[in-house]
Amino acid sequence: MRGAGEAAAWGLPVGLLGGLVGLGGGEFRIPVLLRRFGLSPGQVVPLNSVISLVTLVAALAFRAGSLSLVPLAPHLADIAALTAGGLVAALAGAGLVARLSDHRLHQAILVLLVGIGLLLIAEGLAGAAFRLDILPDRAVPRVAAGIVLGAAIGLVATLLGVAGGELLIPTLVFIHRLEVKPAGSASLAISIVIVAAALIRYARLGRLPLRAHATGIGLPMGVGSVAGAALGAVLAAAAPADALKIALGLVLLAAAVVSARR
């Protein structure tokens, strides 16, 4: 097992990238935990969830200081619906981890990394020119759609130990018509609930990280992620979001290639 210093060093850029866009950074930690620290996919999922929760809380707190949360007010019903759907799925989805083999979980992680990478690149290229204007303005269908979408995102996020922001942000931007930066803040708030619920479920299943992994890897990587999230939140106000999403998409595709060689 590699040292705490390396874990913190990996956590810093992961937190920075997450804080810039509004992610917990779980998708960036997956190949690091698999390749550099030699953990199995079954060990990565709960440990990644713990680090993601710490990063999410810190990133939201820092972004609240550097970016206004006022643009979220008209979308509170949509955000609440996505949160409710994600919460239900998180409680159910954590149980699937215990029944999946490491091989199948590893395959699922690769699919997620590639899918997220392509999605981020497509969103970055489309920019503000593309919206899926498919939801009516009536509250009931919007809330129903939010619950369904939140459940789907929450299930995938919980299954793979990520916060789900990589799916929530495109949903909020393309379907619920939020701007990219408010969508990142909303994603953080929703993801906190999803990840916390998943961890509660993992605890009941006896699937929390081993103490050696939590203290030797999780703690220093979490500290590094918090520091990175603080810097990312400061830079978020001026960062070119579309260009950044394209870059992040390319990073994820590269991470998938590296992880596939394991």
pLDDT tens readout for residues 219-254: 899 899 889 888 888 888 777 777 767 877 787 787
Higher-confidence residue: 126 or 154?
A: 154
Higher-confidence residue: 29 or 261?
A: 29
Q: CB atoms < 10 A from the CB of 67, how many?
A: 18
Average pLDDT for 115-137: 69
Average pLDDT for 53-75: 87
pLDDT above 90: residue 84: yes
What is the rounded distance in angstroms from the CA atom of residue 38 to the CA atom of residue 88? 32
Higher-confidence residue: 208 or 96?
A: 208
Higher-confidence residue: 116 or 6?
A: 6
What is the rounded distance in angstroms from the CA atom of residue 205 to the CA atom of residue 238? 43
The token duo for 141 is 């269908």
Average pLDDT for 91-115: 66
Residue with tokens 């603080």: 230
pLDDT above 70: residue 131: no
pTM assigned to the model? 0.78
pLDDT above 70: residue 105: no
Average pLDDT for 129-139: 63
pLDDT at 129: 53
pLDDT at 230: 87
What residues contact residue 153 under an 8 Å CB cut-off, 6+ apart? 82, 85, 86, 89, 164, 167, 168, 171, 194
Q: What band does 169 get if pLDDT is binned at 50, 70 and 90?
A: confident
Q: What band does 198 get if pLDDT is binned at 50, 70 and 90?
A: confident
Q: What band does 70 get if pLDDT is binned at 50, 70 and 90?
A: confident
